[in-house]
Amino acid sequence: MHILICGEGRAEIHEDSWAQGLRALGHEVELLRWEPLFRASRFRALSLARKTQNKLLWGPALWRLNERLVVRAHASRPDAIILYRPTHVWPVTVRYLRESLPETTIATYNNDDPFGPRAFAPLWRHYLAGVPYAHVHMVYRAENVERLRAMGASDVHVVRSAFLPERHRPIALTDEERARFGADVVFVGHFEPDARVEQLEALATSGVDLALFGPDWERAPRLPWLERFQPIRMLTGDDYVRAIAASRIALCFLSTLNRDTYTRRCFEIPAIGTMLLCQRTADMEQLFRPGIEADYFSDANELVEKVRHYLAHPDEQARIAAAGHARVHSAGHDITSRMREVEGILAAALARRRSKSRG
């Protein structure tokens, strides 16, 4: 298939990884990124104007994006257009693409939860208004399927996140890297005002050797236990992998704002070769067998208890890490396998529409 992906294009784990996986399956993929249209400029007034338009989702930059999408789509006439987290794509654009390119399947994918209890409604207004005009919708979580169907979506699928095999893999660390990142337990993730603060505090004050990295921790309350981790750095790319690889256990907390029952890190941590210890959900226990391929906790006491157990039993911890690593590969949680699912969804949609047109 010839596929056009349109999205923000800021991080490799999103649109770029989808393009990579689809290309590995033999598809021709082109990317249209809108991030450059809103990038900061050396001219302060221009930077402010771009920032304002990016927040309001209206203005000349949005016009240019939607115009470029239409022009690119009509020039290449792809088999499928994937609108990746299309907060900036206007519903009139989606409708026009559907009407003017009858041979093209219009699909959306959204990795966030627009229906969550704290979802910012203005951010999702274009995406949700465009729901009836796309042929296919792919979502990150099962929670969103029925809501989209109620809004007029007839073909909705859950497509999970995935790990990138060339990046998320066991690596050899230098002594300097072990000194810089090494800890018995690590959490690499963002701050969110939920149970993670209480649970991390219980672990940090229990005497466990803990490392903490990630964005948005400057928004956390100024708690005494957090002071020794300051400044808490965000890690990307190879440093993210090094921090996880340098630890015996890596924690995973699930976003309550997004109502997550799993997250991308659940696949990345085992792929790197480190034991995954995650907040317990029924979904996670289906993905990784408890105490065999990963393990779980429900509160601060259980978190501390599990960490102490596995640090005292390194052979058991190593067996779980190895089994989790095998599981993410055998179960197809890598990006190419995940894009094989997307390939099937798009191919089925194309076949249905072509069958209707012949009929």
Taking alpha carbons only, the member of 97, 96, 67, 65 closest to residue 81 is: 97
In a domain, 278, yes or no: yes
Question: Is there a single domain that holds both residue 129 and residue 86?
Answer: yes
180 and 68 within one domain: no
Is 170 domain-assigned? Answer: no
Q: Answer yes or no: do 258 and 348 share one domain.
A: no
Considering the domain boundaries, does residue 168 fall inside one? no
Which residue range is the domain that position 213 belongs to?
175-330
Domain count for the chain: 2
Position 120, amino acid: F
pLDDT at residue 61, rounded to an integer = 93
**φ/ψ of residue 290, rounded to 5:** -60, 130
Among 254, 299, 218, 8, which residue's Cα sits nearest to residue 113? 254
Output the CA torsion sign for 91, 93, 96, 102: negative
| CATH number of the domain within which 136 lies | 3.40.50.2000
Within the chain, which residues score under 70 in pLDDT? 357-359
Flag whether 169 is in a domain.
no
**Rounded-to-integer distance, Cα 64 and Cα 342, Å:** 28
Tell me, yes or no, whether 99 lies in a domain: yes
